[in-house]
Amino acid sequence: MNAIQNRLAVLEAYRPDRHVPGDLDSFWSETLAFFADKPLNDTKIGMEPLFPLADVYDVRYEGFDDTPIAGWYIVPRAEREGKLPCVVTFHGYTGGRGYPERYAQWLMLGYAVFAVDVRGQKGDTGNRLASAHGMTKGWISQGIMDKYNCYYRAIAIDSIKAVEWASRQSEVDPSRIVVEGSSQGGGLALLAAALSDTPAIAVANVPNMCHMDFGMLNSTGSLTELSAFVNEFPDRLDAVLDTLSYFDIMNLAERIRIPVIVSVGLKDTICMPETVYAAYNRLTCEKEIHPYPFMGHEHLGYHNRKTLEFVRRKLG
């Protein structure tokens, strides 16, 4: 067994102990019930498309609170029979929905796309979430001492409501919705798959929000914000870890019942392979993982093709 094979064997057997709060299921049951009937208060405005074969709409909807969440809704104009599959896609940390043309590959497959901002980050969406204490740089330490009013709960509900919005569109087949993203977006795709019965497939590229206690200790990415917060207030470590445990994909993985495809880079220092495998190894659904020994925190064209093949194979 060479060094690469040995590394993969260790990761494939990696099942770290979990801190699963006793009220995890009741917390999410109550949360989902509370927001189930919350109105989307949405708007949809047609835009002048760059591509002549697609209709583009600038969307606003509400999720966790009254923050208007921005999204692009893009529908191929090609002649079609019946309703379309739809990809609900989430961006990486500090990013935004960008420009509509970045989603052209899904349109070429004949799928609609709903690409949404994550609140407060580098998109067109603000953040009206209140916080009872200050934050380190970035967003994820906002409200981190309170699982009911923390940033993670807000973006979880925003993401679930994005799926709800897409499922209600007249062009979309609600039984063929894909949740997709990379890094933060991959974590949100898995979170939506765990908490919503609507998605049919989840695509999680180098996903974040997995095995987050390990990430706080070792990651060079967004979780360094929580490390800095706790470094300033060491007495708050247990409270921070307790909040994270409600949103850690490692603890929610067994709720996912749909096919999942995951990528992981063995040289990734942001979403480290230990964190990805810790969650992946607890998935009990149909699943595929594609490890890339020499890839860091990135998305390879080779794996992009693997993803498209996977989605097309499952949805047509």
| Predicted pLDDT of residue 2 | 95
| Predicted pLDDT of residue 79 | 64
Q: Which of 183, 196, 219, 222 is catalytic?
A: 183
The CATH number given to whatever domain includes residue 232 is: 3.40.50.1820
| Predicted pLDDT of residue 202 | 98
Report d(CA 13, CA 115) in Å as an integer. Answer: 35
Helices 184-195 and 151-167: crossing angle in degrees, nearest 10, is 70
Does the residue 163 lie in any domain? yes
Does the residue 144 lie in any domain? yes
Cα→Cα distances 284→250, 263, 280, 287, Å: 12, 17, 9, 8
Does the residue 39 lie in any domain? yes
User: pLDDT by residue for the chain (316 residues), tens digit each?
Assistant: 899 999 999 999 999 999 999 999 999 999 999 999 999 999 999 998 888 889 999 999 999 999 999 999 999 987 667 899 999 999 999 999 999 999 999 999 999 999 999 999 999 999 999 988 888 889 999 999 999 999 999 999 999 999 999 999 999 999 999 999 999 999 999 999 999 999 999 999 999 999 999 999 999 999 999 999 999 999 999 999 999 999 999 999 999 999 999 999 999 999 999 999 999 999 999 999 999 999 999 989 999 999 999 999 998 7
Does the residue 313 lie in any domain? no
Residue 93 labelled as part of a binding site: yes
* Strand ordering across the sheet containing 260-265: 43-47, 54-62, 68-76, 112-116, 84-90, 172-182, 201-205, 260-265, 287-292
Q: Quick one: which of 299, 281, 278 has its CA closest to 206?
A: 299
| Predicted pLDDT of residue 135 | 87
Q: Record the pTM.
A: 0.97
Name beta bridge partners: 112: 86
**297 annotated active-site:** yes
Does the residue 10 lie in any domain? no
Does the residue 256 lie in any domain? yes
Does the residue 289 lie in any domain? no
Report d(CA 65, CA 101) in Å as an integer. Answer: 29
**23 annotated active-site:** no
| Predicted pLDDT of residue 221 | 96
Domain count, the chain: 1
Range of the domain at 277: 16-283
**268 annotated active-site:** yes
